[in-house]
Structure 1
Amino acid sequence: MSTFIVTSHGGDFFGEDRHTCKTLGALVPYVHAAVPADERQDVEQLLTEAAQTQAGATRSIPAAVAARLAPRLRQIARNRYLKSKPLVQAAALLADAAGRAAADGEAWEWRTEVG
């Protein structure tokens, strides 16, 4: 069984996106390649914590923080060294969801599920 992070403001019918914790953890090394050093701490922490999250955990990210994370996640998705299509897609989906949450002025909600 895998542990998944389900985020609000996603692109599916229910407004959610689903990512494995393993996938989000695999994005961490690309933070250093894509995001300037003085801007990477929050996005690196978010992805590291997501990779280590246990089932049943929830997290609420304020809209202002989501607004800061969205462009950084977009930088990771567009990084030329990120060749894995699933990782590019995960980073892009996270960036889009964070941007939607920020634009709506709502908290970006994360929860974990086992499936």
Structure 2
Amino acid sequence: MPHIAVSHGGDFFGLDHHPHTVLAQLAPWAANCIPQAQAAELAPLLTALETPQDQKFLPEQAAQFAAHLRKTARNRFLKGKPAAAARALADAATRAAADHEPWHWTLTTDTAA
């Protein structure tokens, strides 16, 4: 099953792995939480959740995405794996922004991840 490995994750190697299916479940929730004034700024995050692929986000983007992912994770109707993924993504994005480093997403089909 395809996964996305994100940098600045919580494991020993600094990576988190998220299945495409979980990110796809998270995408509409993230879209519904976007204020109209931030739609253009957060569009790359929505695209990344809907069609995950290899990409890099600047630290400033990672900080914006972290705030939005935290807001999405706090939605009382979002349950289970998508909520956990939103929290983990927010934490990784926060670490990338704090380190002033790009936040990398890498497509992998490794099932052992």
2:67 counterpart (62, 68, 71): 71
For 2:76, the aligned partner's letter is R
**Whole-Å separation in 2 of the counterparts to 1:76 and 1:20:** 18
TM, length-normalised to structure 2: 0.87
Q: CA deviation at 1:38?
A: 2.6
What corresponds to 1:96 in structure 2?
A: 91
Residues 20-71 of structure 1, C-alpha deviation per residue, up to 9 Å, x if partnerless? 0111011111123323233242322221121xx4xxxx21111111111110
Please name the residue that 2:17 is paired with.
18
2 CA distance for matches of 1:98 and 1:69? Answer: 7
Show the 5 A alignment for 1:38-57. 38-40=37-39, 41-50=43-52, 53=53
Contact 1:33–1:79, Cα closer than 8 Å, also in 2: no
Tell me the percent identity: 39
Structure 2 segments unaligned to the other structure (5+ residues): none
Question: Partner of 1:14: helix, strand, or coil?
Answer: coil
Partner of 1:81: 77
Output the aligned Cα RMSD: 1.3
Structure 2 SS opposite 1:92: helix
Gaps of 5+ in 1: none
Distance between the aligned counterparts of 1:10 and 1:27, measured in 2?
A: 18
Moved more, 90-99 or 73-82: 73-82
Structure 1 stretches of at least 4 aligned residues deviating more than 4 Å after TM superposition: none
1:59 aligns to 2:55 (yes or no): yes
Supply the distance in 2 between the matched residues of 1:91 and 1:3 (Cα, whole angstroms): 18
The TM-score, its normalising length taken from structure 1, stands at: 0.86
C-alpha distance after superposition, 1:62-90 (max 9, x if no partner): 1111111110011111111212x111110
Contact 1:43 1:73 in 2 (8 A): no
